[in-house]
Amino acid sequence: MLTDAAFIRRLETLYLLARKVLGGSLQADRKSTKKGAGITFADYAEYNLGDDYRSIDWRVFARFENLVIKLFEIDEDATIYILLDTSHSMESKFTYGRQLAAALGYIALHCLDQLCVYGLADKLDPILSKCRGRGNVMPFLRGLEQAETFGKDTSFSACAREFQARHQRRGVVIVISDFLFPSGFDEGLRFLNWNRHDVFCLQVQDDNDTKCDWKGDVELQCIESAQKQKVTITPREARLYEEAVADWNARLTQSCARYGIGLASTRPEIAFDQVIQDILRRGGLVA
């Protein structure tokens, strides 16, 4: 259970690690490209009527008799968006996926970042509306605990477009999924990247996805669409299936590299906190 005291203690350990190795930030660099009032000097600009006179660099004026103002980088709070695959293909991995989402969301809320969580299937299903602060940890964990798989299919590209229509502000978009989308993943990743989000993919697959142990005449039923088909599976078909899944995963790796998207792949038998520790020690949610 995601609200058990023992589970929350594991989340707190991960947050302390994040604070230690990343200064409490899921991203290594959160400097805005915008200029304004801040701490770190960025540039000079010519003084215009109405500018804050307190920003005038009087030493430059004394040397060159030109009025200029100092510009500084703005440190912005991150907005963390978690898109958790809640399609039926995730049923055998759903508890594990929610544990990963819980860990990342817990760290974000304790870092005082904004957090927003959706279930991802044939549409987006809100799990947690945008919020901030430690006081939202228990509502967040309860929302994840109550989430269920749904939908008749999974359209990642349609969900990416629906997400962008709801959220114009750039942020960190974490997609937790097996990425076995019938219509593919490339278009959705490209769309999120084009809208200048920092995207991170956390792929979860198990033996049900990667191996085929069935032999002989069987009737297969799609877990999402419920369509049935009778097939004969020989060792050759089983081998071709496993090779196709390996090729699919390789193409996911290539797409993420092409768009500068971070990617980590894991399996349910690997403890969720070990996965998050590895991500944090590599520098956070970066490509």
Q: Which residue has the higher pLDDT, 32 or 132?
A: 132
**Averaged pLDDT for residues 34-51:** 61
Question: With bands split at pLDDT 50, 70 and 90, how would you rate the model's confidence at 27?
Answer: low
Partnered with residue 204 across adjacent β-strands are: 266
Question: With bands split at pLDDT 50, 70 and 90, how would you rate the model's confidence at 84?
Answer: very high
Question: With bands split at pLDDT 50, 70 and 90, how would you rate the model's confidence at 205?
Answer: very high
Percentage of the chain beyond pLDDT 70 is: 89
**Averaged pLDDT for residues 41-45:** 66
Q: Where are the domains of the chain?
A: 5-27+77-281, 31-75
As its CATH architecture, domain 5-27+77-281 has: 3-Layer(aba) Sandwich (3.40)
Torsion from C-alpha of 41, 46, 50, 53, nearest 10 degrees: 50
For residue 180, pLDDT over 50 is answered with: yes
Give the per-residue pLDDT at 31.
Answer: 44
Burial of 24 (0-12, 13-18, 19+ CB in 10 A): middle
- Residue-wise pLDDT for 105-117, tens only, equals 999 999 888 999 9
